[in-house]
Structure 1
């Protein structure tokens, strides 16, 4: 954790805090000349802030995150069946509880029509909860698949099986997918992405530090135990062979920074030329098995990986590959098999890798299974019960206010030319906001769900998902499609469709509070909206235009200025220490950090614009600006297990929660004036070094 100065306060007030060596922040009293009706309206509003979470021993100028969340951090214990807790994670638990109530109500309904959505929800949940049946079945559900792997007689057949392995939801060294063509957003294209590792990232195979050596040792022991439980031959030798092959695959992988570069990962090949790239890969068999052999071209995201994989396929004997593919079947199916296999799978991937002490109650995992396979079925009911129409209306107003503020900000930039500003504002105008839930729901008519066949349910769902993806090829772009369910606590920006998406479940306190005044909502969900808009203008999103096409719409000078600002943000975040031996990766997290900084900056501008020149009311003794910054900071409230945090720093493009708050606010002049920051305060950055991008 970044070292910050902690000092006593000159006053014990929550608002108007002043350091011993700084001027106090002015807090104005309410205007007593207002009408009784106006005062009554103000009193009806809440600040939306939980003061019990504050740590008054911390100066806000030194560590605003701990000032707002410190007591909660000290007093909160991460539940033993989780690796994290906090604003996001607790809201996800609430969403899961809400979905559980829907599922149990459906499951208790008598005489459900076979094949109906309700029957599928009940049968899927019951198939997950029926541990007795799973224990009786053991590895029987995957036996035929294991035999199919054993029957592979050549490297050509092996590569063809890679395709089947993915279609059934298992693992493969090459991940095939279909998405909008980044350089022609009017069409869908086929893609191949590097894949094939069970550990989080290539460093876990190659780093010789003791921690990684111990993880690899534990991984081999885990595979050996799984092979023993499954009754597969030569557990120890198989485990060592699997690690050895995955290590060779890892050596070919691009690192996490390279893989987020949309320019480097766009490499279109003619199908007929693939043998030139990788002559020992059976492209005809692979693409035919996927149902994609009629395409003229394909985008290879990491060409050098495919070249390296070609060599690994050539140099590794078939027996080792078959052992590896058996492992892919077993490890990906473990959660759908016997209790013993499921528990051992948890012991390594959740406990050893991420520090989770206890497995979640089975009902929680059952709800997750329903969300994964039938998410929009329960999503329809979730929206009716938990998402009010007025919430969507208020969100629409917020989105448009943010859009307007973003436009003002672009216009006011002193480093950007008029031509680039014009293109940026065109893109902003074409943002497509999606709020709450889809206008068109997913259809599950073709999916068969059985109450005694959990593995089969997952397999059939995976096969159907692949079939639906293939239907996109040659078809119009599905503008209506969502990539999150309404009950998901998250949001996203999709560059090839230039859309910002906010599922219903995130539109709740502390992000969005219908009972609170605008300040805390602009600081919370407003910053989230701004964050997603910011992705349209981060270091990767800025490569795409308003139509979703990746093209250069910048002048050379503007792009140089933009890159310099990004470099400054990289340097700032590289300096944040998560642990004594581990810092944030500023390059990996650059896009999200731009999103956070842009989001809170534009949200603040939109909030001030919404006041229409009027003074914000004082609520709970806090000015509007104070409520805004506190509202922003409390949404990042979180505690995470060390093991999980280390994994996230290695793989997650988001900075740890405290730095998402501290890093963004440390660059905002308005935060400095609100809390009277000065040289010597831990959050202080000299004006000439503060980063302002949008």
Structure 2
């Protein structure tokens, strides 16, 4: 039932086989849809012998004027966004087939009366979600115990207990950059920033129903969204039979606006050093007075935890103060609304439809709700992700594909090390530390070596709300257990069936799930140049995250530690500022530009990733002669493979949300990153006077 990570490798509109995204922080991430794009280009494009979509190009547009349209203009012209999506991109094209495979696994488990163990749970979770008649008959009964508990809150001590009981492990600050929770606070448990030998809990701001504080405080479109959100709150309360819904909705919006005022901004939250605030249990009462913290900690099963890292201390203090100063009844109304809203996907159709109407249609411009089976597949794959993933791997992952991808990783890691050696601006001292980090980098490809144990998770075929709640609590308790366990670097933060990739900075580790090892990112039958341009740039991107403006702050052991000389870091920082300025010139709308500071880490990773992947491709040749294929040179094929991996279309509302909240620039602008790579100019004969041309001294070179 919780919103899921919206920021991994791709933009906020990545097609992920996950669920519950309607209320996520950008509300533009969506589970995969099997609705096809326009008939002219449905599903995976027809690839030439070179391995990329030549028909999807528009060669009437010069590469030097708009490389994105040069590579993707035909695709942009002929592709329509499916009615049940707010966007469509290359990840979606993979997700279409992957979702069918996952559906077969899940529905097969549901129909198999002899299924046992995790597969039985997978089948029962899906069955419960699909039981519309049973859901209608039960009405609001499944959430009544929570609503009764909220109604019974009689004082501030009971309010603190409710806050604590609601705490879940539903955020991820550095891996998935998922900062959003609609609960008052979020919890992330992982390795200590300052001591890699132990795990600690990180407390994170929460409490908003809209994607970000700016939606509460800005004018223009944000003001219109606020009106629609207030109407949504009122409608949910009315559907639940709660009286005086209009007045309650007004007060709930006012409370959330007060919470938004104390929230950290996206840019502030991205500042790791500013987030590194070690608090003891006793510090909460002194630094964040208002909430009864001992009661909160007891209810959250954290009473014995000695210390925490509080990521946004001003927000935590502000929410704590609001717990004391805002009327108790307003808090109770707020908690009741969110309990219902959070469960809406598992409640009678009127609630699910209202959820779609606001979070998808109004907020993101999506015209049509996804079919119920698609939502059920996503919800099941989310709740029991590795149980589904284990079966997916058995049926659909070719060991040869895994081995070839691992070979590419080795070449690209080696290429990155060589790039460090060749840097003329970095001192030997800093180079040695950087090389140590490369040498200790761990990479996991396709699937985990150890699968998650779901034996303690209860799943019932007649209890969809309870299943979702128990799955959340299972995940919370699994994370709490880390506090008493040694640090381990074998956890996967994605399932094999997710089309994405991940850098884990605290562990100096990369993860590449099996599902991304498909065209257009990776084709075992395609030309190496194209594969290195597509999946190779993804691999290079993730390696480079260990050395972006955030990753560069961590040493080889994942400790927040400055391993740079002052002079070297100043040069690195200057390159970052130049790249931020470059991306801030891109304007998807006349009144809204890409936020170069917010997207800086991803943009650094793209620049370095392309350069490293190209070096890796050259390294892989081992002296073999390269040739032109169908009129395209190897380096042209490389760059076209890269650009076509980032083809994407957005509905305007989804694009606006992504610009405001996503740490990735939209795919169109990511494709234009090539203007910083010298080899691109040579490959396409780009000359001064063309729109993308940058003089050599203006091209940003980070690694």
TM-score strictly above 0.5:
yes
Which residue is equivalent to 1:477?
Answer: 487
Query: Which of the two has higher C-alpha Rg?
Result: 1
Matched, 1:205 2:216: yes
Matched, 1:609 2:619: yes
Matched, 1:686 2:687: no
Structure 2 distance, partners of 1:361, 1:603, is 39
Structure 2 distance, partners of 1:470, 1:221, is 37
Correspondent of 1:431 among 424, 427, 441: 441
Which residue is equivalent to 1:175?
Answer: 186
Correspondent of 2:502 among 460, 482, 492: 492
Which residue is equivalent to 2:682?
Answer: 673
Which residue is equivalent to 2:464?
Answer: 454
Cα displacement string for residues 109-165 of structure 1 (whole angstroms, at most 9, x for unaligned residues): 23334xx21211111111111111111111110011101001111112112211212
Correspondent of 1:223 among 233, 236, 243: 233
Which residue is equivalent to 1:269?
Answer: 279
Structure 2 distance, partners of 1:168, 1:277, is 23
Matched, 1:185 2:185: no
Which residue is equivalent to 2:519?
Answer: 509
Structure 2 distance, partners of 1:557, 1:75, is 50
Structure 2 distance, partners of 1:609, 1:447, is 48
Cα displacement string for residues 338-363 of structure 1 (whole angstroms, at most 9, x for unaligned residues): 11100000000010000110000111
Which residue is equivalent to 2:31?
Answer: none
The alpha carbon displacement at 1:171 in A equals: 4.0
Which residue is equivalent to 1:141?
Answer: 142
Tell me the matched-pair count: 647
Decide whether the 8 Å contact of 1:241 with 1:320 is kept in 2: yes
Decide whether the 8 Å contact of 1:254 with 1:302 is kept in 2: yes
Which residue is equivalent to 2:552?
Answer: 542
**3-state SS of 1:269 partner:** strand
Which residue is equivalent to 1:22?
Answer: none
**3-state SS of 1:288 partner:** helix
Which residue is equivalent to 2:390?
Answer: 380
Bigger mean CA offset, 335-344 vs 475-484: 475-484
Matched, 1:214 2:224: yes
Which residue is equivalent to 1:92?
Answer: 95
The alpha carbon displacement at 1:314 in A equals: 2.5
**3-state SS of 2:303 partner:** coil
TM-score normalized by the length of structure 1:
0.92
CA change 1:345–1:618 in 2 (3 A) is same
Which residue is equivalent to 1:525?
Answer: 535
Structure 1 distance, partners of 2:283, 2:119, is 48
Structure 1 distance, partners of 2:338, 2:236, is 12
The alpha carbon displacement at 1:374 in A equals: 0.8
In structure 1, the gaps of 5 or more residues are 1-43
The alpha carbon displacement at 1:579 in A equals: 1.1
Cα displacement string for residues 161-220 of structure 1 (whole angstroms, at most 9, x for unaligned residues): 1121234989422112312111111110011101111101111001122x1111111111
Which residue is equivalent to 1:9?
Answer: none
Which residue is equivalent to 1:340?
Answer: 350
Cα displacement string for residues 317-341 of structure 1 (whole angstroms, at most 9, x for unaligned residues): 1111111111121111111111110
CA change 1:84–1:340 in 2 (3 A) is same
Matched, 1:370 2:383: no
Question: Which runs of structure 2 are paired with 1:589-604 in the superposition (5 Å)?
Answer: 589-604=599-614
TM-score normalized by the length of structure 2:
0.91
Correspondent of 1:296 among 278, 301, 306: 306
Which residue is equivalent to 2:16?
Answer: none
Decide whether the 8 Å contact of 2:58 with 2:74 is kept in 1: yes
Decide whether the 8 Å contact of 1:177 with 1:192 is kept in 2: yes
Matched, 1:326 2:327: no
RMSD between superposed Cα atoms in Å: 1.4
Which residue is equivalent to 1:13?
Answer: none
**3-state SS of 1:577 partner:** coil
The alpha carbon displacement at 1:487 in A equals: 0.1
Decide whether the 8 Å contact of 1:168 with 1:460 is kept in 2: no
Which residue is equivalent to 2:409?
Answer: 399
Correspondent of 1:61 among 47, 64, 67: 64
Decide whether the 8 Å contact of 2:236 with 2:337 is kept in 1: no
Structure 2 distance, partners of 1:376, 1:307, is 37
Which residue is equivalent to 1:10?
Answer: none
**3-state SS of 2:308 partner:** strand
**3-state SS of 1:579 partner:** coil
**3-state SS of 1:666 partner:** helix
Correspondent of 1:556 among 566, 572, 586: 566
Structure 1 distance, partners of 2:553, 2:274, is 12
The alpha carbon displacement at 1:463 in A equals: 1.4
Decide whether the 8 Å contact of 1:382 with 1:486 is kept in 2: yes
Decide whether the 8 Å contact of 2:156 with 2:328 is kept in 1: yes
Which residue is equivalent to 1:23?
Answer: none
CA change 1:615–1:599 in 2 (3 A) is same
Decide whether the 8 Å contact of 2:168 with 2:187 is kept in 1: no
Structure 2 distance, partners of 1:642, 1:246, is 25
In structure 2, the gaps of 5 or more residues are 1-46, 171-180
Decide whether the 8 Å contact of 2:549 with 2:600 is kept in 1: yes
The alpha carbon displacement at 1:618 in A equals: 2.0
The alpha carbon displacement at 1:537 in A equals: 0.2
**3-state SS of 2:384 partner:** helix
Cα displacement string for residues 10-67 of structure 1 (whole angstroms, at most 9, x for unaligned residues): xxxxxxxxxxxxxxxxxxxxxxxxxxxxxxxxxx993111111011221111111101
Question: Which runs of structure 2 are paired with 1:144-155 in the superposition (5 Å)?
Answer: 144-155=145-156
Cα displacement string for residues 446-465 of structure 1 (whole angstroms, at most 9, x for unaligned residues): 11111110000011111111
